[in-house]
A and B are shown apart, each in its own frame.
Chain A
Amino acid sequence: MQIPTRPTYRIFYLGLIAAGLTVSLLVRFNLLSRYGQQIFLFICINIIMTVSLNLINGFTGEFSIGHAAFMAIGAYSSVFVTTILFPAAAEWPKVWAVLLFLASIALAGLVSFGLGYVVGLPILRLRGDYLAIVTLALVEVVRSGIKLTDELACLLDKIHLPALSRIVQKIGGPRGIGQIPVFTNIFWAVAFTVLTVSVINRLLHSSFGRVFLSLREDQIAAEMMGVDLTRSRVLSFAIASFFAGCGGGLYAHTLRYIHPDNFNFIKSIEYLVYLYLGGMSSLWGSIIAAGSMTFLLEFLRMANLQQWRLVIYPLILILVMLRKPEGLFKRDL
């Protein structure tokens, strides 16, 4: 088999930067509303999420529907830093605020990575549909865990840790967290998207990333070649979780308000739809499907067909699976 050379996604990077510049200029001269800018930010975030999901579901050949859980963990841990620990961050000097924001996103990624690693160790022993149902379970456990933080605060109060209790209470439980400073702007969204695509592209074409591909192709053969199956599967899961966490952090600082129900099962399905529509194991597919679908579905909202949005997602998923299960784009690797 001929080993393909690493493609450069320079066209994508330049295109995204150009699009970002255009959008920011349009917003600057009041030709585009804040809402238009937000759509652009969501496009970037969805590209990050879909490309990272592609690493697990496409390139490593697992089937996870738990991406929303890591997004939630990322969102809550970055918000924990910028809103709960440092509530006055929005009034800080610009440089410090930006540094804090970057630190919070990094923390979001690292916490998700850690969780992905710890959770991945037991659950990645399962395969196929069992993995699917357990990752679905993960989404629900994380969601109901976040909703239970109020009870945790009560408990902490009872055992005489009022300071800790007050902090935990601010996580909000079923009320969600509001008043999140809007730190995500076009520059950072573009930067993180470029970073994600570039890192995953380089990863897949390194010897380290080839191991992931070998898992998808033939696990027994991979093991014969000395691949540590569990470690590689868990690492791929954790790396994808890292980017999902970053995406979650960006998402929280775009929306200003997050709620545990934002990160439910439907959120995971959204990314599955983008992934399978674009084509498994195709970075271009993920990028284009995530970008165009985000735009189109927002367009439906504008055309007052909002209630059809949730009907159209699953319908697209079913039609893609019935008619073109390999997706719109060919496999890269």
Chain B
Amino acid sequence: MKPSDLVLPGILLVSAGLYVWYYGWLVLAQQMINGLQRGSMYALIALGYTLVYGIIRLINFAHGDVFMMGVYFACFAGNFLLSRGVGFAFWIAMIVAMIGCLLINVLIEAVAYRPLRDRPRLTMLITAIGVSLFLENFLSLDPHQLPFPFNHLVFGPQFRPFPTLIKERVYPLAAGLTISNIKIIDLATALMLMVVLEYIVKRTKMGKAMRAVSYDMDVARLMGIHVDRIITFTFALGGALAGCAGILYGLTYGVLQSPCLGMWPGIVAFVAAVVGGIGNIPGAMLGGFLMGIVETLAISVNSNLGYGVTFLILILVLLVRPKGLLGSPYMEKI
């Protein structure tokens, strides 16, 4: 334990103290519940970042946009199912969103990242930034002003309501605090998927291969591991998690602002992955919940504070504890 390890908890505790002094315990507790809900989405996205970074050392900037496409897929699927009156609409929409995002993420990897794998790492990073901006701006184009094949491909820039797949019910907790069924679903789904992912990575043959590729790609190849297939599998897992985060986002906020909605959650989730220790699954989860709570508290003070606080935490973490809170032993020295 170094003295610098105390910087981050110290700052967080002092800020929480100030918050309680100004707003009171009750507000803090309610905002923390809300923060856990927001954090469960960040955690799911962060898991995708962590998996991909762990295996090919790439910050997949486009991951936030895969999540955004998940929100849209879920919205389209939900509308379709509700209009036909199909039962279990939420679960079917979730599966559709997960499969859609899985395919998109695998496609992005095959088209944009695979040809660059043996080039300098920054080349891939720049491509990832390009893919992200391309998806955001292309999907935001106005379909009414586009020629034939394109107008069916874009989502359009307008607001859309998200179908009410599950009716929100608010349950009172002790002392005036409330919790809703959607909050419970968000949290439970995130935790459950983390357990499933941890099981896949730690207990299955595929997971063992993933860990081997992450440790040393060349040696893994020599050991007969099909590296390309493992990387595709990793992207597929990350995409499915992002799709699930997508439907939770739609369920929680009930509105799709524009195809740029994935950018900010994507960045925060990356920060969460770094805070938790990149390449570490429980770390990403912890980081996600932490960032969700911190951001919710900051926004409840002033809506412009969210951005700044998130990044200040990132800078602090990178400076005082670059391995992250639960840093993995494979972390390269930076």
Contacts and interface: CB of A to CB of B under 8 A. Distances in A.
B307 A144 contact: yes
A30 interface: no
A223 interface: no
B266 to A, nearest CB: 11
Given A63-B122, A307-B145, A318-B112, A134 B314 contact: yes
A311 interface: yes
A87 interface: no
Interface in A112-152: 122-123, 125-130, 132-134, 136-138, 140-141, 143-145, 147-148, 151
Contacts, number: 114
Interface residue range, chain A: 35 or more
B133 A269 contact: yes
Interface in B127-146: 127, 129-134, 137-138, 141-142, 145
B173 interface: no
Contacts of B127: 317-318, 321-322
A272 B123 CA distance: 12
B334 A151 contact: no
Contacts of B130: 314-315, 317-318, 321
A297 interface: no
Contacts of B318: 126, 130, 134
Nearest to B306: A144
A176 to B, nearest CB: 14
A263 to B, nearest CB: 13
B134 A318 contact: yes
Contact of A313 (B115, B116, B133, B271): B133
Interface residue range, chain B: 35 or more
Nearest to B307: A144
Contact of A269 (B123, B129, B274, B302): B129
B129 A133 contact: no
B119 interface: yes
Given A141-B307, A318-B134, A122 B315 contact: yes
A15 interface: no
Given A123-B315, A144-B304, A136 B133 contact: no
A126 B314 CA distance: 12
Contacts of A269: 129, 133
A35 B80 CA distance: 48
A276 interface: yes
A147 B119 CA distance: 39
B308 interface: yes
B208 interface: no
Which among B112, B137, B142 has the greatest number of chain A C-beta atoms within 10 A? Answer: B137
B267 A136 contact: yes
B126 A315 contact: no
Interface string A90-129: 0000000000000000000000000000000011011111
Contacts of A209: none
Main secondary structure on A side of the interface with B = helix
Nearest to A139: B311
B86 interface: no
Given A128-B122, A134-B315, A144-B308, A310 B133 contact: yes
A325 interface: yes
A307 B145 CA distance: 9
Contact of B123 (A122, A123, A313, A321): A321
Given A148-B304, A321-B130, A322-B115, A133 B270 contact: yes
Contact of B319 (A122, A127, A266, A308): A122
B161 to A, nearest CB: 24
Given A130-B318, A134-B318, A307-B145, A147 B304 contact: yes
B277 to A, nearest CB: 13
B103 interface: no
A311 B244 CA distance: 27
A178 interface: no
A96 B286 CA distance: 58
A148 B304 CA distance: 7
A277 to B, nearest CB: 11
A174 interface: yes
Contacts of A125: 319
Nearest to A61: B122
A218 B262 CA distance: 38
A189 B137 CA distance: 31
A151 B130 CA distance: 35
Interface string B47-59: 0000000000111
B59 A129 contact: yes
Contacts of B58: 129
Contacts of B311: 134, 137-138, 140-141
Contacts of A122: 315, 319
A217 to B, nearest CB: 14
A307 B132 CA distance: 17
Contacts of A136: 267
5 contacts: A127-B334, A128-B121, A133-B270, A136-B267, A141-B311
Given A311-B141, A314-B131, A318-B127, 10 more contacts: A129-B59, A133-B274, A137-B315, A140-B308, A143-B307, A144-B305, A272-B126, A307-B141, A311-B134, A321-B126
Interface of B: 57-59, 112, 115-116, 119, 121-123, 125-127, 129-134, 137-138, 141-142, 145, 267, 270-271, 274, 302, 304-308, 311-312, 314-315, 318-319, 322, 334
